[in-house]
Chain A
Amino acid sequence: MKLAVISCIHGNYEALKAVLSDIEAQKADQIYCLGDLVGYGPYPNEVVNQIRSLEIPTCQGCWDEDIVEGLNACECSYPSQLAEHRGKLAHEWTNKEIRPDVREYLATLPLSLKRDNLCFVHGSPNSQHEYLLPSMDGFAALERVLSTDADVLFCGHTHVPYVRELADAKLSVTVKSPARSDAPQQFQATLKRIINAGSVGEPRHGRPNATYVLYDTDTAQVTLREVAYNYTKTCLAILEKGLPSIFAWRLARGMEFAERADDPTHVCER
């Protein structure tokens, strides 16, 4: 069976349309969506309508949660003070624009979805706001996958697609107890994978094209898809609807964000 996994549409209806027709051309049997239907982009209601009408199983993204629960971000939710300021502007705009039934729908979205040995989340199994960056420490990454009981963990949230194989996943644990010897206990995990679907509507991989992934459940083969679409249309709508014009500038370039230096002492307060 061929699955298509999409994430981070962010109110970009043009990009969603292009990706849906690419999925059709690729003859995928089922679509999964990892959330962030709204935020940044000019058409949050239209995007949600489309996802709903196609009955695409969807988990809740960080932006979807913020629209339901109100903005309650931790300082680690944003890569920079500038990004935080702009994120708040986009949140306020979206909060005003969104229809009540759309907000209700976003509130019903689950945090994760499962299908056989596959698990689907937005950020990480811990939170919609945690970034599973490809550079994340291997042990921590493996811990996230193991916590789901799945072999393949699909995520989004970083807006840059990647596939990470956690091969030879061996966890060695020494149990200190007076009754037993200190022989380390080993847990051998089978090959685990993290597959990040990138972003349909707000890509940050250096090009404006939308990205998503195809996954073949029979062969476990992953294909990262990059789809060109008419981004100028979305950019114009961003300007017309009064969203910050810098969003259009970044969208047209698929701009990456400068990464915040990792602070290992930080504990997320979300």
Chain B
Amino acid sequence: MQSFDLTLVAGPPGVGKTTWISQFLANPSRPLFYLCPCAQDAVDFARIGYCFPWVSIISDDQAADVLADLPDQAQVFIELGFHMDLGSPLLVALPGRRIAIVPPSLDSSEWHNWADEVIPSPNQQVSGELASASGKLPTIWRSPLTGQVFDPPSLDEVLIELTGGAYGQVTRLKGIFELPDGQAFYVDFVEGLPGIEYTELKLPRWLEGRPDRFSGLEIVGHNLEQKTIAQALLTCCLADDVLLQYQRQYQQLQLEDETVAAETEPGVVA
């Protein structure tokens, strides 16, 4: 008898697959595993690692071993990107509950046929249309940005341009960006939903040199001008001397804050 639960989650980009899985990852009472095949170095991996450090994140090459030897009571979540073939024999062979998250406007699709349970996406505006008007499937463009720190107003600019279609049609954008005050942000955009969402990641402030933790950008869309995007991003990144200057300033501020906090500590009698 199987002593673990395995859940496979699929659906078009922007429906909220990772968000849906996150509600279960937030509860560390059972051993938790997360796997997103073919998405190594992806933003989702890093975000789940940053937000739920107790979750074991399984890379593709570890997958077979880990799945064969799961601890008792383990809960495994496998997120299937839209680019995965749901009929692939490897996936079909996996035992587990199949969840499809689809836009409420979508009545039938390969996700409907595949799933044990269909959950309507809370993101009403997401169309679920994968192909562009010309019938082409979207491309995914990933850029690791680890070590790069962004000039905040430049990052705002370039994200507005990207999501506004200045460099091709962007249907989905997720990123983790480092800022000069040592904070890292998760940025999320879904075509059709209003605005770009910024979430501060609860990580220690990195104020000593270039951050040695994952940051990166992932864009799904059509006719993406990849070279121009890369160039624009690079223009927003801080040079060594500028970063150093910022970090000195913020270290000083942090020091002052700590001093004030220590001085105002109540009720400490020697």
User: Is the pair B161, A260 in contact by a Cβ cutoff of 8 Å?
Assistant: no
User: Is the pair A257, B157 in contact by a Cβ cutoff of 8 Å?
Assistant: yes
Q: A250-B161, A261-B152 are in contact. List 16 more A-B contacts (CB 8 A).
A: A79-B153, A80-B156, A80-B157, A81-B154, A82-B153, A82-B154, A82-B157, A82-B235, A83-B153, A85-B235, A249-B166, A253-B164, A255-B160, A258-B156, A258-B157, A261-B153
Complex Cα–Cα for A255 and B158 (A): 12
Complex Cα–Cα for A85 and B232 (A): 10
Could you jot down 14 A-B contacts, CB within 8 Å? A79-B153, A80-B151, A80-B153, A80-B154, A81-B151, A81-B236, A81-B238, A82-B153, A82-B154, A82-B236, A83-B154, A250-B161, A257-B157, A261-B153
Summarize A's interface: helix, strand, loop or mixed: loop
B residues adjacent to A (C-beta < 8 A): 151-154, 156-158, 160-161, 164, 166, 232, 235-236, 238
- Residue on A nearest B242 in the bound complex, by CB: A81
- Min CB distance, A247 to chain B, in Å? 11
- Min CB distance, B15 to chain A, in Å? 29
- Min CB distance, A124 to chain B, in Å? 21
Q: Does A218 contact B (CB under 8 A)?
A: no
- Min CB distance, B14 to chain A, in Å? 23
Please judge, given known A-B contacts A246-B161, A249-B161, A258-B157, whether A82 and B151 are in contact too, CB under 8 Å.
yes
Q: Does A259 contact B (CB under 8 A)?
A: yes
Complex Cα–Cα for A261 and B157 (A): 14
User: Is the pair A82, B164 in contact by a Cβ cutoff of 8 Å?
Assistant: no
Size of chain A's interface in residues, with CB distance under 8 A? 16
User: Is the pair A259, B153 in contact by a Cβ cutoff of 8 Å?
Assistant: yes
CB-CB under 8 A from B151, the residues of chain A are 80-82
Complex Cα–Cα for A261 and B153 (A): 8
Complex Cα–Cα for A43 and B87 (A): 58
CB-CB under 8 A from B232, the residues of chain A are 82, 246
Digitize A220-258: 1 where CB-to-B-CB distance is under 8 Å, 0 elsewhere.
000000000000000000000000001001100101011
Complex Cα–Cα for A199 and B92 (A): 61
CB-CB under 8 A from B161, the residues of chain A are 246, 249-250
Most B CB contacts (10 A, CB to CB) among A82, A83, A249, A259 go to A82
CB-CB under 8 A from A80, the residues of chain B are 151, 153-154, 156-157, 236
Q: Which 7 A-B pairs have the closest CB atoms?
A: A80-B153, A82-B154, A258-B156, A81-B151, A80-B154, A258-B153, A81-B154
- Min CB distance, A142 to chain B, in Å? 28
User: Is the pair A81, B166 in contact by a Cβ cutoff of 8 Å?
Assistant: no
Complex Cα–Cα for A74 and B44 (A): 39
Complex Cα–Cα for A261 and B151 (A): 11
Digitize A105-125: 1 where CB-to-B-CB distance is under 8 Å, 0 elsewhere.
000000000000000000000
Complex Cα–Cα for A80 and B156 (A): 9
Complex Cα–Cα for A208 and B153 (A): 22
Complex Cα–Cα for A85 and B151 (A): 12
CB-CB under 8 A from A83, the residues of chain B are 153-154, 157
Complex Cα–Cα for A253 and B164 (A): 10
Complex Cα–Cα for A81 and B158 (A): 11
Most A CB contacts (10 A, CB to CB) among B151, B157, B232, B235 go to B157
Please judge, given known A-B contacts A246-B161, A249-B166, whether A81 and B156 are in contact too, CB under 8 Å.
no
Digitize A54-97: 1 where CB-to-B-CB distance is under 8 Å, 0 elsewhere.
00000000000000000000000001111101000000000000
- Min CB distance, A159 to chain B, in Å? 15
- Residue on B nearest A246 in the bound complex, by CB: B166
